[in-house]
Structure 1
Amino acid sequence: MTVHSAHTTLLEEAAAAAEGVPGVAFLKPGLAERLRSALSRPAPPAGRARPAGVRMTADGDDGSWHVEIQVVVARQARAVDVARAVRARVRDRVAALTPARPAPTVTVTVTGRV
């Protein structure tokens, strides 16, 4: 597995973990998804796209990850509770997939409510 595909897999796992939290309506769509829906074209089949609403970078010399998640929350849910649950679930999932690295830091931003 290449470094790029491993990074993409971690991004996908982090996105899936966040989307699975009760109260998360969806991850914040990126510009490509907005344009694609506005133009009503199907997604291009070539390669895997980076999940929208998730960014992951190496954090410092210790090799830990910093994960940024942007979510839109369902109106009936308390945003603070959803953000805490997303942070915990993503941190646990990434830590389980990268046991040789220190625990990741996770930042969750609630960008909207629906």
Structure 2
Amino acid sequence: MTDQQAPRTLEDTVGAAVLATRGVAFLRPGLAGLLRSSVGLGAARGGAGASGVRVRRHKGSEGLGIQVYVVLNRGHRALDVTRAVRSAALDALRTEAGDNGSAQIEVTVTGVV
């Protein structure tokens, strides 16, 4: 597996774990993903950014930076769901990449339906 393929695989793995989290309605791309989609760059990159999960490797270290954008189901506390999302993402990373918790996970709630 090449370095270019690894982040996309992790995005898919984390995305699937997040979607299975109680209270998450769906994933939503961040602003950069929306802009890429609006100018057609998302399609050129294989839809990267459209999933609502972005994985980046930190410069000079082994750690990862993960951004997750979610829309919640009405009736769920945002704090509880974001904690569960973070936990699910960490579990997915441990399973897929053997990450020992060095990832920094940022969860952003972009809406409620």
What TM-score comes out, normalization by structure 1 length?
Answer: 0.78
CA 1:6–1:110: 2 relative to 1, 3 Å: same
Q: Distance in 2 between matches of 1:2 and 1:48?
A: 16
CA 1:57–1:106: 2 relative to 1, 3 Å: same
CA 1:6–1:84: 2 relative to 1, 3 Å: same
Q: Which ranges in structure 1 are unaligned for 5 or more consecutive residues? A: 36-43
Superposition deviation, residue 83 in structure 1: 0.4
**Greater CA drift, 2-11 or 24-33:** 24-33
1:49 to 32, 47, 50: 47
Offset from partner CA, 1:46-96 (integer Å, 9 cap, x none): 984224211111124331111110100001111111100000110111122
Alignment of 1:4-83 (within 5 A): 4-29=4-29, 30-31=33-34, 48-50=46-48, 51-83=50-82
AA of the residue aligned to 2:8: T
Computed over aligned residues only, the root mean square deviation of the Cα atoms, in angstroms, reads 2.5
What TM-score comes out, normalization by structure 2 length?
Answer: 0.78
Q: Distance in 2 between matches of 1:31 and 1:47?
A: 13
Q: Give percent identity, aligned residues only.
A: 36
Q: Distance in 2 between matches of 1:60 and 1:33?
A: 24
CA contact 2:7–2:56 (8 Å) conserved in 1: no
The residue aligned with 1:40 is: none
Q: Which ranges in structure 2 are unaligned for 5 or more consecutive residues? A: none
The residue aligned with 1:39 is: none
AA of the residue aligned to 1:13: T
